[in-house]
Structure 1
Amino acid sequence: MMKHFFLSILFFFSLSCTFSPKDFRIPEIEKWLSSHEKRYDYCIVIPGAGCDGCISGAEYFVVENYQRANVLYIFTKIESVKLLKHKLGDNIVNAPNVLLDVDGTFDKNGNNPNDIYPAIYNISQNKVTDVNYMSPQNGMAMEDLKKQFEKEAVFKIDLESYIKHGDCGRQIKLSDITDSVTYIPLKTNYNLPIAEIQEVRTTDDFIFCLDTQQKLFCFNRNGDFITLIGKRGEGPEEYINIADFDVDGRKGEVYLFDLQRHFIMVYTVDGRFSRRIKLPDNILNIAKYYDSQFIAYAPEYLGNERDKLIIFNDKGEERDSILFQQEENISNTKIDIFKMATFTFQSHFLCRLPFSDITYALTPIGNQYKYVEFQQGKYKLPYEIGSNVESYNENLNSSYIFEPRFYKCQNLIFINFFFKMNNYQLLYNSDKNVFFTVFKGKYPVGIENDIDNGPPFWPVYIKGDRAVGIATAFNSEYDNPVLQIINITLENKE
């Protein structure tokens, strides 16, 4: 219902108008754009006072689309920055393409009757070419822009061009993206060593690490061992195999996804068993979703009507489902170990279906949009090769890109993939459309650490502007991995 309500707002409160010279904001917008290196295609100005319904619709549009780096959002006539952050969230208000007009630069009295409405300014080469106002008359300004956004990925990354041009990306060092590195040695007893770490999650108070021996460790923020979460076994409070896990720091709960038995095992952060949530057998992968919900990948060949995502509440009851457009070259009859959806939860929930170039973002109310598109061209792995284990292994030396993955932090996208028996690690600046070569070789290394000459860095987990990497033990009495933590700086260098 909420989704349809907000769509109605966007439809009802949008109107296309040609701008007039009386729009005093235009010279100020062009002046601001010309003084900044970043290039935008749109500028949306949202007043804090005026047409309440129009403003609510525009604010909702920002929540759904703030990650589009080609759009500049300007909030003016701000009654309270604190209230605005409470309404939209700190991550949106502090986004690099969101500008708070606290000094009233874009709020001068120009006697324009449209000042009370949000406005969409089309930009070309730092000049305003058109403007559409959202007013109570019927119109389609915001809805048309929304439909345009649905067709295009927020970030298009041309891996084909990168490979064709001979790895021409420039080298980068750690000091180009951060000022310092924090090290947290993970401390356990000698009879409880940590194997290779697979996954990391953090809260304000704790660090959780899942290793290849299926042990889930809980540490405090200094790296002191607190407890193991759960125990492997077949008992009602035990798990057989952890496919993945997640943490809700606010509720103090840890969720272990035991897909072999189709349970979500719920524990407290101090390791006590709380409950288990039974899931249906027709799913392959599951992750934590917004607001105490979970989301699972349900492929057609397990008896579902189509490849889809199913949303469950915290009792395991199905609440909703999301269908995806099936790619024509993907067979629905073959069962293989590669046919798994990939989930990540950064600022939005991200999902990539098997053999798809596109990672989708899902919003809290179930809207989906194209988030990252890897443009692989002739190097894209054909389904008939990738879907079969034997042919997959036989073609590892071929000219196809295998398993492209990414982490995004602010304007930087950390990318890794496998191509012609080499691991590639790249850094992509989405603001400037620039690649940086990090590493190419047999064993991935990471970004050269020129800050303290410590181990190279590569993220395994990102939360906000903080990225977490893993290094082998060094200068420590503990023979355990060491976490590296950096804060990504906005003004990273080329």
Structure 2
Amino acid sequence: MKTLPHLPFFNLTRSTGFRLLVVWLISLAVVSCHEDSSTKYAQMAIHELPNPQGTYSQYFIIPLSGEGQELNKVKSFIQQNYFRRNIRFILTAVDSTADLDSELGAWATHSPNIYIDSANQLGPDGRADGISGPVLFSLDDNQVSQVRLQGNENPSKIDEVLRELAEEPFIKVDLKGYLDGKYQKVEVQSDSLFSQIKRIQLKTTGGYAIGTLMDMKVCSRYYFLLDNQMNIFRFDKEGNLLRKIGTKGKGPREYSNLYQFDIDTVHSRVFLLDAFSKKIIVHHFDGEYLKTIDLPYIPAAFSYMENMSFMLSVPDYNQPDGEKFALMKVDEKGNIINRYLPVSAPKERRSSPDFFNMPLMKNIGDGRLLYWPLQTNEEYIITPDGQKLSYCRFEEGNLQVPGYIAENVKLMEANMNKYIFQLYARQSNRFLFINFFYQMNNYGLVYDKKKELFYEASKGKRQPQIKGVDGNPDFWPAFSSGNKLYSIDYQEDTTWLIAAETIN
């Protein structure tokens, strides 16, 4: 029996080997042709729908005709990820926009990141040239750089790509690279970031004085401020004090400790969290007491969600023995509706919330929660079904402080020159305002999410500030809402609210 020349490792006859070689060459040609077809299709999509100002790094074209498990997985991915800034979802073969609203949700189908190809130009019956499944490709500005998914892939490939996408953070900020000198250090002044800055004098009456600002909420008509004296004030947009909300005390309608609050703009309600007393006290905007909600556990943080439900961040040491969760959703009676994010390594039980590690939580609409456990380098979005999506990852490399050091004051003091500490950020739609402590310096950086560019606002021993120009004050945001940022400026006997609006 003769073997194929030059292929001694195949123990095959010449005729069998020849057939296999031909089959292999044909399959290689088919794959190559398929790849070329997908690339041409991607280029055609870019021609039809240009990438505006390089906004998106990936295009995901999804024909919605047909049915099957793979299509359902892709639809589920759209529901959970439609607000990703870097992906443009192009939906083709859409039978009915109304049905699409019902199936995916109006929040999803009306997102600026979703384009509905109603003319089916890119669909299977349009000019897709045989491409019938989902196509995902990466972009470099308006050029196709890589085709990641090529239509009729096998189910395992679709699963793999969707999993990779879900694990990719919406935003990556390379702090380690910045500190290592990888990026140019560009100084910034207020006129480079803000379209306008307003100073509003906060005028108090009745002997009230505003202490250090602890928390703030904004709606269309009012500013709500919580100070370190545990007072909540409601001001109008001209800075006039309208009233103080809530009363400190030990009664059922009073709070003994107040570090956080939230508002419901639809029903004009204010929610005061008295964590140590395990209760939320509800007032109307006009100050009228409405009710008290008893909570099952002592939370470290909370956020109002919708329909009188609340998300609680409950430290595992404040939960009973058994399976523990980082987040719990409760109704208006304090009953637990759902639990999210199982805790794998519970910590030692403590008697009160650890406010040093208090997470940041914010309802961002459509039942989604922005969640940042402090002393970590990652901010997440929690979807209504409990999925945890990486939203913003601060890449610190070997400068990231280990958990056992972050939780020990003495170890922190001994390692101040070695790691990044007290990482904190506020953001507008376009910019991240990043504050952290490294090698005995307090850094204030501004990261442009659109241009992926760092600006160095300040560095030194003082709190970070963006230098004001044209008579505007120096500014560093304490709170944010959309494109609007706020801070407080204390000058002798006068308190000013600084309201800045960033450029788009």
Q: Answer whether TM exceeds 0.5 for this pair.
A: yes
In the superposition, relative to structure 1, how do residues 291 and 52 fare at CA in structure 2: closer, same or farther (>3 Å)?
Answer: farther
Show the counterpart of 1:120.
Answer: 135
In the superposition, relative to structure 1, how do residues 484 and 275 fare at CA in structure 2: closer, same or farther (>3 Å)?
Answer: same
Aligned pairs, number? 460
**2:430 pairs with 1:411:** yes
Show the counterpart of 2:287.
Answer: 271
Contact kept? 1:287, 1:294, Cα under 8 Å: yes
- Structure 1 unmatched ranges of 5 or more: 1-16
Selected match of 2:455 from 409, 432, 436:
436
Show the counterpart of 1:342.
Answer: 359
Show the counterpart of 2:331.
Answer: 313
Q: Give SS of 1:480's match.
A: strand
What does 1:43-122 align with in structure 2 at a 5 Å threshold?
A: 43-45=59-61, 50-51=65-66, 60-74=76-90, 93=110, 95=112, 97-99=113-115, 110=126, 112=128, 119-122=134-137
In the superposition, relative to structure 1, how do residues 300 and 140 fare at CA in structure 2: closer, same or farther (>3 Å)?
Answer: same
Show the counterpart of 1:468.
Answer: 486
Selected match of 1:378 from 392, 398, 417:
398
Deviates most, 152-161 or 35-44: 35-44
User: Aligned-pair distance for 1:215?
Assistant: 0.4
Show the counterpart of 1:150.
Answer: 166
Summarize deviations over 1:215-263 as a string: whole Å, max 9, x none. Answer: 0001122222111110111112111111210001012111111011010
Selected match of 2:348 from 333, 346, 359:
333
| d(CA) in 2 for partners of 1:278, 1:263 | 4
- Structure 2 unmatched ranges of 5 or more: 1-32
Q: Give SS of 2:495's match.
A: coil
User: Aligned-pair distance for 1:181?
Assistant: 2.0
**2:473 pairs with 1:458:** no
The code of the aligned residue for 1:343 comes to L
Q: Give SS of 1:314's match.
A: coil
Show the counterpart of 1:482.
Answer: 497
| d(CA) in 2 for partners of 1:208, 1:221 | 10
User: Aligned-pair distance for 1:106?
Assistant: 5.4
Deviates most, 342-351 or 238-247: 342-351
Q: TM-score, normalised by structure 1?
A: 0.79
The code of the aligned residue for 1:482 comes to L
Contact kept? 1:458, 1:470, Cα under 8 Å: no
**2:371 pairs with 1:351:** yes
Contact kept? 2:293, 2:332, Cα under 8 Å: yes
In the superposition, relative to structure 1, how do residues 81 and 219 fare at CA in structure 2: closer, same or farther (>3 Å)?
Answer: farther
**2:212 pairs with 1:196:** yes
| d(CA) in 2 for partners of 1:122, 1:77 | 19
Higher gyration radius (CA): 2
Between the aligned residues of both structures, percent identity stands at: 23
Selected match of 1:422 from 441, 451, 455:
441
| d(CA) in 2 for partners of 1:118, 1:205 | 48
Q: Give SS of 2:404's match.
A: helix
User: Aligned-pair distance for 1:203?
Assistant: 1.4
The code of the aligned residue for 1:454 comes to N
The code of the aligned residue for 2:54 comes to K
Show the counterpart of 2:269.
Answer: 253
Q: Give SS of 2:277's match.
A: coil
| d(CA) in 2 for partners of 1:466, 1:83 | 35
In the superposition, relative to structure 1, how do residues 142 and 345 fare at CA in structure 2: closer, same or farther (>3 Å)?
Answer: farther
RMSD: 3.8
| d(CA) in 2 for partners of 1:345, 1:91 | 19
The code of the aligned residue for 1:359 comes to E
| d(CA) in 2 for partners of 1:90, 1:225 | 36
| d(CA) in 1 for partners of 2:419, 2:203 | 41
Contact kept? 1:58, 1:118, Cα under 8 Å: no
User: Aligned-pair distance for 1:267?
Assistant: 0.6
Summarize deviations over 1:36-59 as a string: whole Å, max 9, x none. Answer: 552755312357x85589988756
Show the counterpart of 1:368.
Answer: 388
Contact kept? 1:208, 1:218, Cα under 8 Å: yes
Q: TM-score, normalised by structure 2?
A: 0.78
User: Aligned-pair distance for 1:89?
Assistant: 5.5
Show the counterpart of 2:7.
Answer: none
Q: Give SS of 1:179's match.
A: strand
| d(CA) in 1 for partners of 2:110, 2:59 | 15
Contact kept? 1:297, 1:309, Cα under 8 Å: yes
The code of the aligned residue for 2:340 comes to I
User: Aligned-pair distance for 1:366?
Assistant: 1.8
In the superposition, relative to structure 1, how do residues 185 and 378 fare at CA in structure 2: closer, same or farther (>3 Å)?
Answer: same
Selected match of 2:191 from 175, 187, 200:
175
Contact kept? 2:297, 2:314, Cα under 8 Å: no
